[in-house]
Structure 1
Amino acid sequence: MRTIDGPVPYREVTGRYGRVHRLGETDADIMGRTRIWMIVLPFAGTAGVALAGAAFAVAGGARAWSGGPVPWPLGVWVFCQGVVALPVGRLRDGGRLPARVAVPFGAAATAVAGLLLLHAPEATAARLGFAVFGGAGAGAVWVTCAATAGKWFPDRRGGATTLVSGGFACGTVPVAFVAAGHPSAFVAAGHPGAGGRPSLAVVLGLALCLVAAGAGRFLADPPRNWWPDRVAPPRPRVGAAVRGTEADPPAVRQYGPREAAGTPALWLMWCCLLCAGGVGVLCAAVRAPSAREPWATGGNGTAVLCAALCLDVVGVGALGLLSDRWGRRATLTGVCVVLGTAPFGALESGRLGGPPFLLLCVLLSGLAGAAVPALLASLTADCFGENDNAAHLGLVHSATAVAGPAAAVLGAGVVGARDPHVAYVLAGSLGLASSVLALFLTAPGRIRVRRIVPNPQPLGEEMA
């Protein structure tokens, strides 16, 4: 791991539960600039890779996702993203894959995916290459950028991590529109026709890959156990719930990957992401009806896309800031409830308000689906510490490797039966199941005393 140790003296303070805080160094002392750059640069990396993949998908048109009755490349893309996350996280924390190498690697894989999609002679090979390389690149970039931002903001991890993940959500909306068979929603007014669109999309995709790779070259990790010098480490509080920075106190100590894997909290997060990840893939696999509605065609489709992008980026960041104040678990539970109720609302939109209500459900479902991985990334560091956060994130994010293919297979069966209602009921049930799992997420090793009962027979003078 590339760490920057400056000449400024520091001291190490051990907390009540054995957690070590390295104090005395500011962000400017360590890397010569403020740590806000460790939000801006990771955001540029995730947004660049996500939007580059979407641009290549637009350039490929029907070749991108349409692979028969179900867009199976979407399941392969999600599978590869989850599979790559775990080894990249382990290599990152082991010091064998620095952030300044991992992000350019992911950007290069995304560029290769786009070129394979456009120039492979056979359509199936083109889809497979795009899904494998695109998913691997996206997984490497997301794990690296989210972990880097979390390490630099241990005191305000929710806002930092979710803002970076919001950049990754920029590309999920365009991909969802392409997967739904409606790429025309990308085309802005004033660019009619299909003649110049592919070449413009390819140039844009390659440029975004270069932006992501350039941003990744400036990423670096802080020293292990580093804590901002201007922020006092929070003192452990037992019993009553508190707001502010103590709503989600840091992990009681730094857990290694094997130690974290031996706790129930990590596997609850894994199952929560498994259910939440299946919701989005399942809805895309059955070709969401919103992409075929009149309000999602032509110029209206562009307006819907822009609204979804703004809502994802701004909304995910706002939810992260809210989680810093009100608690990560409470915010995650509420988001999962929205994720579970949105598919049921889409089914009942004909009776409850028509296309406007359907649009609201689609936007809320996209926002919730983008917020769940971001909140879980923050919660992972809250439970197990920042030193090996990339490995922990990779292990939790590997749940998408199961969610993607499973949801795609289930979606294929539903599409074959021409009954998308069953898919939406299943998606809503998975979302609600993730909210139930989120209720039981607690940090390991932290003492929680809900009620103190006084000793009915205290030792006093009359007993001496």
Structure 2
Amino acid sequence: MSSITEPGGNASSPSFFSKQATIAQPGFSRWMVPPAALAVHLCIGQAYAFSVFNGPLTKVIGITQSAPDDWSLTTLGWIFSLAIVCLGLSAAFAGKWLEKVGPRRTMFTAACCFGGGFIVSALGVWTHQIALLYLGYGVIGGIGLGLGYVSPVSTLIRWFPDRRGMATGMAIMGFGGGAMIAAPLSVALMNHFKSATSIGVAETFIVLGIAYFISMSIGALAIRVPPANWKPAGWTPPATTTQKMITRNHVHIDQALKTPQFYLIWLVLFLNVTAGIGILGQASVMIQESFKDTVSAAAAAGFVGLLSLFNMGGRFVWASASDYVGRKNTYFIFFALGAVLYWLVPSFASSGNIALFVLCYCVILSMYGGGFSTVPAYLADMFGTAFVGGIHGRLLTAWAAAGVAGPVLVNYIRAYQVAHGVAKADAYTMTVHIMTVLLVIGFICNLLVKHVHEKHHMTDAQLAAAK
């Protein structure tokens, strides 16, 4: 391996955290990479479980009940929002950097930020400074979320060119399932540390910060990238002209922003996520209001858990299926089937058919999760794998935008309906019909996606220089 000069260092063998040092040696099994990716994604998936801290954080001073100086839920709600915004922004703006330095340094940086964010947040709880929670979990932790999300995915795509969907599905399924581990673990830790003078949140933050840092660091140390021109034994790259729209060419991260395909796929992800994320956030209240005096709070909690399972499972199942039917066709299914199911939901609610109501939303949430895991492979098909991590990072701004649009549509339209005399059981009808329209628009956007024009493709010389 040739020597290199690291910034601020001397010409020597590659730094342990350099991209060159992560190139796999002959005989390395690509099946060692998915566990490394999961070690990161199962940790950052904790973000979906942050709501378990909201109640306790309103009692930091009062301990048993909220005191006048305790934080309100509306104040605390900004922590998660900041984290998701910083996830999208860090993934977008760090795209070039992560492609340059490689997955190990990026994933270790993510470990430092995500684990460190918990430590800063613990200080915020101890000193009762909300700004430190915004800075810790919201900003620093959010940066860790963004870097930790995109880097393992782009690495998996390079290792599994023959099964891109399955590979990305494995990792992003971990992000969806991380909350299933984090929620009970966090509650158990808070109960363990709870005392007459502490609600147990700060101590829990410390433990989680250390644990997540260790797990994510292990993933960073284990990650490897394939050698140049590597491909699985016996695999022949598909021709560009196949119906699955998989290119053999590569598009630079900056050039990708000059193509209509990037913005069409941006809208595809935005509309698919918008249609699911608002419902996910209000699922418990929605089913109780739709079936008043029939569904208890405990049953509603079970409904939320069931949706989470389908959200997680859909990330692997749909992405794996896309390897066979193609990414574009998979999104056609998401939009067409989703629109039909959303249109039918109000009739199932009005007729009191809980089983079909639940089934519809389970399938919808599986496609919501599937949209996240399928889009990295969609981008690799369209723009090649050379800069897919950075391009994927920039596309995740669609997630940040949908994270605002989805809940706003569900919450504010419902509030407007109720304020104007509409029964709570019927207040979601307009919302789901609007979701149907959004999915139809998404279907059209996906229909317009074509092959990237050859003028955007990099030459071999440009590709070699960029690397």
Structure 2-normalised TM-score? 0.73
* 2:465 paired residue number: none
Report the alpha carbon displacement of residue 74 of structure 1 after superposing the two structures with TM: 4.3
**2:228 aligned with 1:211:** no
Relative to structure 1, the CA distance from residue 359 to residue 410 in structure 2 (aligned partners, 3 Å threshold; closer, same or farther) is closer
Q: 1:328 to 1:257 in 2, by over 3 A?
A: same
Structure 2 CA distance for partners of 1:37 and 1:417, relative to 1, 3 Å: same
Partner of 2:93: 87
**Amino acid in the other structure paired with 2:28:** R
Between the two proteins, the alignment pairs up a number of residues equal to 403
* Cα gap change, 1:389 to 1:184, in 2 (>3 Å): closer
> Hey, what does 1:157 align to over in structure 2?
164
Q: How much does 1:63 deviate? A: 4.2
Which residue is 1:334 aligned to?
A: 333
- Comparing both structures, which one devotes a greater share of its residues to helix? 2
Amino acid at match of 1:149: L
Q: Which residue of 2 aligns with 1:382?
A: 381
Residue 42 of structure 1: which of 31, 37, 62 is its match? Answer: 37
Q: 1:266 aligns with which of 248, 262, 278?
A: 262
1:98 to 96, 102, 116: 102
- Asked if structure 1 preserves the Cα contact closer than 8 Å seen for 2:284 and 2:297, the reply is no
1:11 counterpart residue number:
none
Shift of 1:80: 1.7
The partner residue of 1:2 within 7, 12, 19 is 19
Determine the structure 1 residue equivalent to 2:391.
Answer: 392
Q: Which residue of 2 aligns with 1:13?
A: none
* Residue from 29, 33, 39 that aligns with 2:28: 33
Q: 213, 220, 224: which one pairs with 1:220?
A: 224
TM-superposition CA deviations, 1:121-163 (whole Å, max 9, x none): 1457635753333432221111111111101111211111122
Q: CA deviation at 1:307?
A: 3.9
Which residue identity does 2:278 align to in structure 1? Answer: L
String of CA shifts for 1:141-188, please: whole Å, max 9, x gaps: 11111111101111211111122111112246799xxxxxxx899979
Deviations 1:36-95 (A, max 9, x none): 1222211221122113x34554234364997439955544333222111112221111x2
SS in 2 for 1:110: helix
Q: Contact conserved, 1:257 with 1:388, CA < 8 A, in 2?
A: yes
> Which range moved further: 101-110 or 200-209?
200-209
Structure 1 residues 335 and 151: alpha-carbon distance in aligned structure 2, compared to 1, 3 A threshold: same
8 Å Cα contact 2:164/2:377 also seen in 1:
yes
Query: Does residue 1:278 correspond to 2:274, yes or no?
Result: yes
Q: CA deviation at 1:384?
A: 0.9
Q: Which runs of 5+ in 2 are unaligned?
A: 1-17, 59-70, 419-426, 455-467
Q: What is the match of residue 233 of structure 1?
A: 237
Shift of 1:194: 8.0
Query: Which amino acid counterpart does residue 40 of structure 2 have in structure 1?
Result: G
User: In structure 2, do the counterparts of structure 1 residues 114 and 411 end up closer, same or farther at CA, with 3 Å as the change threshold?
Assistant: farther
In structure 2, relative to structure 1, the CA distance for the partners of 1:215 and 1:152 (3 Å cut) is same
Q: Is the CA contact (8 Å cut-off) linking 1:158 and 1:375 kept in structure 2?
A: yes
Distance 1:309 1:353 in 2: 23
TM-score by length of structure 1 reads 0.73
| Residues in 2 aligned to 1:150 and 1:431: alpha-carbon distance in whole angstroms | 27
Report the Cα offset of residue 430 of structure 1: 2.3
* Equivalent residues of 1:50, 1:171 under 8 A apart: yes
Query: Residues 248-327 of structure 1 correspond to what in structure 2 (within 5 A)?
Result: 248-249=245-246, 251-283=247-279, 289-290=285-286, 292=288, 297-298=297-298, 300=299, 303-304=302-303, 307-327=306-326
Q: Which residue in the other structure is 1:244 paired with? A: none
Could you tell me which residue of structure 2 aligns to residue 462 of structure 1?
Answer: none
> Deviations along 1:283-339, whole A, 9 cap, x unmatched?
3565652475775744x5675555444433433212122111111111122123344
Contact 2:176 2:312 in 1 (8 A): yes
The match for 2:452 is 444
Q: 2: CA distance between counterparts of 1:443 and 1:410?
A: 33
> In 1, distance between residues paired with 2:166 and 2:145?
21
Q: What SS does the corresponding residue of 2:386 show, helix, strand or coil?
A: coil
8 A Cα contact 1:161 1:374, kept in partner? yes
Return 5+ residue gaps in structure 1 as ranges: 7-26, 176-182, 242-246, 447-464
Query: What is the identity, as a one-letter code, of the residue corresponding to 1:231?
Result: W
Partner of 2:359: 360
Measured after TM superposition, the shift of residue 343 of structure 1 is 4.3
In structure 1, what is the Cα distance between the partners aligned to 2:417 and 2:236?
A: 58
Contact 2:278 2:407 in 1 (8 A): yes
Q: Which amino acid aligns with 2:234?
A: R
C-alpha distance in 1, partners of 2:225/2:321?
A: 26
* Structure 1: distance between partners of 2:264 and 2:163: 23
Instruction: Please tell me the residue identity of whatever aligns with 1:133.
Output: I
Distance 1:225 1:440, change over 3 A: farther
Distance 1:304 1:376 in 2: 27
CA distance in 1, matches of 2:54, 2:170: 29
- Pair 92,125 (structure 1): closer, same or farther in 2 beyond 3 Å: closer
Q: Which residue of 2 aligns with 1:126?
A: 133
Structure 1 letter corresponding to 2:358: L
Residues 1:427 and 2:421 aligned together: no
Larger relative contact order, structure 1 or 2 (CA cutoff 8 Å, min sep 6)? 1
List per-residue Cα deviations over 1:313-368 (Å, max 9, x = no partner).
Answer: 43321212211111111112212334444544444442355433333233223221
Letter in 2 for 1:61: G
| 2:106 alignment partner AA | A
Distance 2:288 2:223 in 1: 42
Residue identity opposite 2:97 in structure 1:
L
Q: Percent identity at matched positions? A: 20
Distance 1:282 1:326 in 2: 28
SS of corresponding position for 1:226? coil
Q: Deviations over 1:213-272 (max 9, x none)?
A: 31122223223443224312334556xx5xxxxx453x1311111322222111111111
